[in-house]
């Protein structure tokens, strides 16, 4: 039994404002009862849909949060195409997804830029979901653990050799880690529950080593990669899996509603 389950959806480059409103009105028809206690839902939507999704979510259930899919570490400036913390705060957005593999793969995001975004946004008061994960070649070469530790290590660094600032200041459930094997994202291939649990246990060990056991135990670690209503319960029952980051199955209200219901069985 778990006390809290973090169910996060990533709409990627789908659902404009009208589609966002439609999503929530259809979900309202489908949902028969409020979420089980302990369910935390956030949907990361395209920038242009943030305000519409925020309003529709507030009418649907004030517990549903709306987040941005990326944001810059600087508060303002000459960064064409980027969103900043203050711009998001102005419209009431408090969640940001950082380091998604599609940003790393297609838009040149590096461990260093991911660190800057994570630190900058945590500093500005956001809740950050930091994505990490190995690609297929890295898994096949037996390098999964090494890659995860490198990606985490880039964020949990301390120039002074002390405990990294992230530990003492942000491991209060304001930093969540999403383990997303790149080969499982949008492919229909899911990590087996054992593969996912193993990776999550490495992440938990890393956090314990850097920040202590308490902080590690409190940090939500989400699994992402072709999670759907049929596999969510088994994945969520793994000891170190505290939630899911879901792409495709978060786009249709019927799938998303069944996924939330399925996951709720582990609470």
Interface residues toward ligand PEP, by CB under 6 A: 10, 12, 180, 185-186, 224-227, 245-249
Q: Long-range contacts made by residues 148-151, C-beta under 8 angstroms, separation at least 24?
A: 148/179, 148/199, 148/202, 148/203, 148/206, 149/202, 149/206, 150/111, 151/99, 151/111, 151/114
Q: Which residue number has the CB closest to ligand PEP?
A: 247
Buried b (16+ CB within 10 A) or exposed e, 93-119: bbbbbbbbbbbbeeeebebebbbbbbb
Give the shortest CB-132-to-ligand PEP separation in angstroms.
Answer: 12
| DSSP states of 47-84 | GGGHHHHHHHHHHH-TT-EEEES---SSSSSS-TT---
Candidates 15, 72, 100, 200; catalytic one: 100
Give the shortest CB-183-to-ligand PEP separation in angstroms.
Answer: 10
Measured from the CB atom, the residue of 7 and 215 that comes closer to ligand PEP is 7
Q: Catalytic: 15?
A: no
Whether 71 and 47 have beta carbons less than 8 Å apart is answered as no
Give the shortest CB-8-to-ligand PEP separation in angstroms.
Answer: 9
What one-character DSSP code corresponds to residue 35? P
Paired tokens of 95: 């969640």
Candidates 102, 109, 119, 180; catalytic one: 180
Q: Catalytic: 180?
A: yes
Measured from the CB atom, the residue of 211 and 235 that comes closer to ligand PEP is 235
Measured from the CB atom, the residue of 166 and 249 that comes closer to ligand PEP is 249
Measured from the CB atom, the residue of 5 and 167 that comes closer to ligand PEP is 5
What one-character DSSP code corresponds to residue 225? S
Give the shortest CB-17-to-ligand PEP separation in angstroms.
Answer: 21
Give the shortest CB-74-to-ligand PEP separation in angstroms.
Answer: 25
Measured from the CB atom, the residue of 211 and 246 that comes closer to ligand PEP is 246
SS3 163: coil
Which amino acids are annotated catalytic?
A: 100, 180
């Amino acid at each position: 039994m778990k006390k809290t389950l973090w169910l996060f959806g990533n709409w990627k480059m789908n659902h404009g404002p009208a589609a966002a409103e439609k999503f929530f009105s259809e979900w309202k028809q489908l949902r028969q009862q409020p979420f089980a206690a302990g369910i935390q839902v956030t949907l990361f939507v395209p920038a242009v849909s943030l305000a519409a999704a925020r309003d529709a979510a507030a009418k649907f259930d004030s517990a549903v949060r709306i987040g941005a899919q990326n944001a810059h570490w600087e508060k303002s400036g000459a960064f064409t195409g980027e969103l900043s913390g203050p711009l998001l705060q102005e419209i009431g957005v408090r969640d940001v997804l950082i380091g998604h593999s599609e940003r790393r793969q297609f838009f040149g995001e590096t461990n260093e830029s991911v660190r800057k975004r994570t630190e900058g946004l945590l500093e500005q008061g956001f809740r950050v979901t930091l994505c990490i994960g190995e690609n297929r070649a890295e898994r096949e070469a037996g390098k999964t653990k090494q890659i995860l530790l490198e990606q985490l290590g880039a964020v949990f660094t301390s120039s002074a050799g002390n405990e990294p600032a992230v530990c003492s200041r942000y491991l209060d459930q304001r930093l969540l880690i999403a383990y997303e094997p790149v080969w499982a994202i949008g492919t229909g291939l899911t990590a087996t529950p054992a593969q996912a649990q193993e990776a999550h246990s490495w992440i938990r060990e890393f956090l314990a080593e850097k920040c202590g056991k308490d902080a590690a135990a409190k940090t939500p670690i989400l699994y992402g990669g072709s999670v759907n209503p049929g596999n969510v319960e088994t994945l969520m029952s793994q000891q170190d899996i505290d939630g899911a980051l879901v792409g495709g199955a978060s786009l249709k209200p019927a799938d998303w509603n069944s996924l939330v219901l399925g996951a709720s069985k582990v609470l």
